[in-house]
Structure 1
Amino acid sequence: MKIAHRVLKGAMLSTISIAALGAGNIAYAQNNAPADENAEDQADDNSGFGENDIVVTATKREQTLQEIPVAVTVTSAESIEKAQVRDLADLQTIAPTLRVGQLQSSANTNFIIRGFGNGANNAGIEPSVGVFIDGVYRSRSAAQIGDLPNLQRVEVLRGPQSTLFGKNASAGVISIVTREPQYVFGGSVEASYGNFNAIIGKADITGPIADNIAFSLAANYNKRDGYANDLNLGTKVNERNRYGFRGQLLIEPSDVFKIRLIGDYDNINEDCCVAANLFNGPTGAIVNALAGGIGLDAENPFSYNVYTNLPSENRIKNYGGSAQIDYEAGALSLTSITAYRGVDSFSNQDSDFTAADLLQRNINDTQIRTFTQEFRVSSDFDGPFNFLLGGYYFNEKIDVNNDIEYGEDFRAFGNALLGAATGGALNFSILEGAFGASDFAAGLVSSPTAYAGQFFAAGTGYPSEIYTLDNQAYSIFGTVDFDITDRLTLTGGFNYTKDSKDFSSNVTATDAFSAIDFNAPQYATFRRNLLIGGGAPFGLATFLGANPTTTTLPDGVTPLSSIGIANANPLAGLRAFQFQPRLVNFPNSVEDGETRDGKFTYSARLAFEATDSLNLYASYATGFKASSVNLSRDSRPFLSDAAALGSAGLLQPNQSFGTRFAGPENAEVFEIGIKGAWDVAAFNLTLFKQSIKGFQTNIFTGTGFALANAGEQSTDGIEFDGTVSPTDNLTFSAAMVYLNPKYDSYPNSTTGDLTGTRPSGIPALSTSLGVDYDIPIGGDNKLNLHADYYYESKVFLFDDNVNNPAADAFAKANFSRSVNALSASTTLFLDNGLQVSVWGRNLTGAEYITTAFPSVGQAGSFSGYPSQPRTYGVSAKYKF
Structure 2
Amino acid sequence: MQGRGEHNEDARRCRLAVNRKLLITAAWLPLGLAIAPTAHAADDGPADVAASGEEADGTIVVTATKRAASLEDVPVAVSVASGEAIARAQIRDLKDLTSLVPSLSMQQLQSPANVNIYIRGFGNGANNSGIEPSVGVFVDGVYRSRTAAQIADLPDVEQVEVLRGPQSTLFGKNASAGVISIITRLPQFTPGADLEASYGNYNAQVFKGLVTGPLTDTLAVSVAAGRNRRDGFIVDPDSGQRSNGRNRWFMRGQALWQPGDDLSLRVIGDYGLIDEVCCAPVNVQSSAATQAVLAVGGKVNAPDAIYADQAWWNFDSTNRIANYGFSGQLDYKASRFKLTAISAWRRLTSATNQDSDFTSGQMLARNAQDLTLSTFTEELRLATDLPGPFNALAGVYYFNETLDQRNAIAFGRDMRAYANLLVQGASAGALSVPLLEQVLGGLDGNPARYAGRFFASGQGSNERYRLRNEAFSAFFQGDFKLGGALTLTAGAAFTSDTKRYAIAGTTTDAFAGVDLDGRAYAPFRQQLLAAAGFRARGVNPQSPAAIAAFAQADPQGYAAVLGRAAANANNPAANPLGALRRLQLFPPYVDVPNAVEPGRTHDQRLTWTARATVMLNRHVHAYASVATGFKASSINLSRDSRPFPADQAALEAAGLAQVNQTYATRFAGPERTTVYELGLKAQWGLATANIAVFQQTISGFQSNVFTGTGFALVNAGKERVRGVEVETVLRPAPGLTLSGSATWLDPLYQDFTMSAVGDLSGRRPAGIPALSFTLAGQYEHRLGRTARLFLRADFHHESPVITEEGLPGFLDLGTAAAIAASAQYKRRIDEVNAALGLAQGARIEFTLWARNLTNNRTLTKVFDSVAQPLAISGYTNQPRTYGASVRYRF
C-alpha contact 1:605 1:618 (8 A) present in aligned 2: yes
Q: Pick the aligned partner of 1:659 from 639, 658, 665.
A: 665
Once residues 617 and 761 of structure 2 are traced to their aligned partners in structure 1, the CA distance between those partners, rounded to angstroms, is: 44
Per the TM alignment, residue 644 of structure 1 is displaced from its structure 2 partner at its CA by 0.3
The aligned counterpart of 2:35 is none
Q: One-letter code of the match for 1:717?
A: G
C-alpha contact 2:13 2:68 (8 A) present in aligned 1: no
Per the TM alignment, residue 632 of structure 1 is displaced from its structure 2 partner at its CA by 1.2
C-alpha contact 2:530 2:561 (8 A) present in aligned 1: no
- The 3-state SS of whatever aligns with 2:64 is coil
Indicate whether 1:378 and 2:383 are aligned: yes
Once residues 562 and 192 of structure 1 are traced to their aligned partners in structure 2, the CA distance between those partners, rounded to angstroms, is: 70
Q: Pick the aligned partner of 2:592 from 572, 586, 606.
A: 586
Label 1:335 to 1:432 Cα distance change in 2 as closer, same or farther (>3 A).
same
Indicate whether 1:508 and 2:518 are aligned: no
Label 1:577 to 1:733 Cα distance change in 2 as closer, same or farther (>3 A).
same
Once residues 40 and 53 of structure 1 are traced to their aligned partners in structure 2, the CA distance between those partners, rounded to angstroms, is: 16
The aligned counterpart of 2:118 is 112
The aligned counterpart of 1:207 is 213
C-alpha contact 1:135 1:337 (8 A) present in aligned 2: yes
Once residues 86 and 302 of structure 1 are traced to their aligned partners in structure 2, the CA distance between those partners, rounded to angstroms, is: 23
The aligned counterpart of 1:828 is 838
- The 3-state SS of whatever aligns with 2:132 is coil
Q: What's the CA shift string for 1:341-377, capped at 9, x where partnerless?
A: 0000011111111111111110111000000000000
- The 3-state SS of whatever aligns with 1:66 is helix
Q: One-letter code of the match for 2:502?
A: S
Q: What's the CA shift string for 1:211-259, capped at 9, x where partnerless?
A: 1000000110001011110123320111100000000000112221110
Once residues 313 and 287 of structure 1 are traced to their aligned partners in structure 2, the CA distance between those partners, rounded to angstroms, is: 23
Q: Pick the aligned partner of 2:856 from 846, 850, 870.
A: 846
With the length of structure 1 as denominator, give the TM-score of the two structures. Answer: 0.91
The aligned counterpart of 1:331 is 336
Label 1:839 to 1:540 Cα distance change in 2 as closer, same or farther (>3 A).
same
- The 3-state SS of whatever aligns with 2:72 is coil
Label 1:553 to 1:764 Cα distance change in 2 as closer, same or farther (>3 A).
farther
Q: Pick the aligned partner of 2:368 from 360, 363, 372.
A: 363
C-alpha contact 1:390 1:476 (8 A) present in aligned 2: yes
Indicate whether 1:394 and 2:402 are aligned: no
C-alpha contact 2:196 2:888 (8 A) present in aligned 1: yes
Residue correspondence of structure 1 range 599-748 to structure 2 within 5 A: 599-748=605-754
Per the TM alignment, residue 548 of structure 1 is displaced from its structure 2 partner at its CA by 8.9
The aligned counterpart of 2:525 is 527
Q: One-letter code of the match for 1:608?
A: V
With the length of structure 2 as denominator, give the TM-score of the two structures. Answer: 0.90
The aligned counterpart of 2:887 is 877
Label 1:533 to 1:329 Cα distance change in 2 as closer, same or farther (>3 A).
same
Per the TM alignment, residue 806 of structure 1 is displaced from its structure 2 partner at its CA by 3.7
Per the TM alignment, residue 167 of structure 1 is displaced from its structure 2 partner at its CA by 0.6
Q: What's the CA shift string for 1:741-782, capped at 9, x where partnerless?
A: 010110111222111100011100001001111111122321
- The 3-state SS of whatever aligns with 1:291 is coil
Q: One-letter code of the match for 1:127?
A: P
Residue correspondence of structure 1 range 279-428 to structure 2 within 5 A: 279-291=285-297, 294-428=299-433
Q: Pick the aligned partner of 1:179 from 177, 185, 194.
A: 185
Q: One-letter code of the match for 1:619?
A: S
Label 1:798 to 1:135 Cα distance change in 2 as closer, same or farther (>3 A).
same
- The 3-state SS of whatever aligns with 1:522 is helix
Once residues 876 and 648 of structure 2 are traced to their aligned partners in structure 1, the CA distance between those partners, rounded to angstroms, is: 42
Per the TM alignment, residue 82 of structure 1 is displaced from its structure 2 partner at its CA by 1.4
Once residues 464 and 822 of structure 2 are traced to their aligned partners in structure 1, the CA distance between those partners, rounded to angstroms, is: 36
Indicate whether 1:810 and 2:808 are aligned: no
The aligned counterpart of 2:439 is 434
- The 3-state SS of whatever aligns with 2:819 is helix
Label 1:559 to 1:472 Cα distance change in 2 as closer, same or farther (>3 A).
farther
- The 3-state SS of whatever aligns with 2:822 is helix
The aligned counterpart of 2:847 is 837
Q: One-letter code of the match for 2:69?
A: Q
Q: One-letter code of the match for 2:368?
A: I
- The 3-state SS of whatever aligns with 1:518 is coil
Per the TM alignment, residue 830 of structure 1 is displaced from its structure 2 partner at its CA by 1.3
The aligned counterpart of 1:14 is none
Q: Pick the aligned partner of 2:873 from 857, 863, 876.
A: 863
- Identity %, equivalent residues: 46
C-alpha contact 1:765 1:792 (8 A) present in aligned 2: yes
Label 1:564 to 1:472 Cα distance change in 2 as closer, same or farther (>3 A).
closer
C-alpha contact 2:533 2:561 (8 A) present in aligned 1: no
Once residues 33 and 326 of structure 1 are traced to their aligned partners in structure 2, the CA distance between those partners, rounded to angstroms, is: 37
Indicate whether 1:775 and 2:781 are aligned: yes
The aligned counterpart of 1:470 is 468
Per the TM alignment, residue 631 of structure 1 is displaced from its structure 2 partner at its CA by 0.8
The aligned counterpart of 2:25 is none
Once residues 157 and 272 of structure 1 are traced to their aligned partners in structure 2, the CA distance between those partners, rounded to angstroms, is: 30
Label 1:252 to 1:367 Cα distance change in 2 as closer, same or farther (>3 A).
same
C-alpha contact 1:288 1:296 (8 A) present in aligned 2: no
Label 1:566 to 1:855 Cα distance change in 2 as closer, same or farther (>3 A).
closer
C-alpha contact 2:526 2:565 (8 A) present in aligned 1: no
The aligned counterpart of 1:102 is 108
Per the TM alignment, residue 490 of structure 1 is displaced from its structure 2 partner at its CA by 0.3
C-alpha contact 2:568 2:574 (8 A) present in aligned 1: no
Q: One-letter code of the match for 1:320?
A: G
The aligned counterpart of 2:544 is none
Q: One-letter code of the match for 1:713?
A: E
Per the TM alignment, residue 301 of structure 1 is displaced from its structure 2 partner at its CA by 1.4
Once residues 238 and 297 of structure 1 are traced to their aligned partners in structure 2, the CA distance between those partners, rounded to angstroms, is: 20
Once residues 239 and 459 of structure 1 are traced to their aligned partners in structure 2, the CA distance between those partners, rounded to angstroms, is: 30
* Gaps in structure 2 of 5+ consecutive residues: 1-8, 15-41, 542-546
Label 1:7 to 1:241 Cα distance change in 2 as closer, same or farther (>3 A).
closer
Q: One-letter code of the match for 2:334?
A: A
Once residues 790 and 52 of structure 2 are traced to their aligned partners in structure 1, the CA distance between those partners, rounded to angstroms, is: 25
- The 3-state SS of whatever aligns with 1:644 is helix
Q: What's the CA shift string for 1:187-221, capped at 9, x where partnerless?
A: 12110000001000011110001110000001100
Q: What's the CA shift string for 1:254-312, capped at 9, x where partnerless?
A: 221110000000011011112011112222222112126x4444441110000111111
Q: One-letter code of the match for 2:460?
A: G
Q: Pick the aligned partner of 2:251 from 245, 262, 265.
A: 245
Per the TM alignment, residue 437 of structure 1 is displaced from its structure 2 partner at its CA by 1.8
Indicate whether 1:495 and 2:506 are aligned: no
Residue correspondence of structure 1 range 211-222 to structure 2 within 5 A: 211-222=217-228
Once residues 341 and 571 of structure 2 are traced to their aligned partners in structure 1, the CA distance between those partners, rounded to angstroms, is: 73
Label 1:207 to 1:534 Cα distance change in 2 as closer, same or farther (>3 A).
same
- The 3-state SS of whatever aligns with 2:439 is helix
Q: What's the CA shift string for 1:45-101, capped at 9, x where partnerless?
A: xxxx87644321111122222322321101101111111111111110111110011
C-alpha contact 1:194 1:873 (8 A) present in aligned 2: yes
Q: Pick the aligned partner of 1:190 from 188, 196, 199.
A: 196
Once residues 173 and 33 of structure 1 are traced to their aligned partners in structure 2, the CA distance between those partners, rounded to angstroms, is: 41
Indicate whether 1:149 and 2:159 are aligned: no
* Gaps in structure 1 of 5+ consecutive residues: 9-31, 442-446
The aligned counterpart of 1:83 is 89
Q: One-letter code of the match for 1:518?
A: L
Q: One-letter code of the match for 2:841?
A: D
Once residues 612 and 464 of structure 2 are traced to their aligned partners in structure 1, the CA distance between those partners, rounded to angstroms, is: 50
Once residues 373 and 335 of structure 2 are traced to their aligned partners in structure 1, the CA distance between those partners, rounded to angstroms, is: 40
Q: One-letter code of the match for 2:477?
A: T
Indicate whether 1:786 and 2:784 are aligned: no
C-alpha contact 1:470 1:502 (8 A) present in aligned 2: yes
Query: Pairwise CA RMSD of aligned residues?
Result: 2.8
Label 1:186 to 1:551 Cα distance change in 2 as closer, same or farther (>3 A).
farther
Q: One-letter code of the match for 1:829?
A: A
Per the TM alignment, residue 525 of structure 1 is displaced from its structure 2 partner at its CA by 2.9
Q: One-letter code of the match for 1:836?
A: F
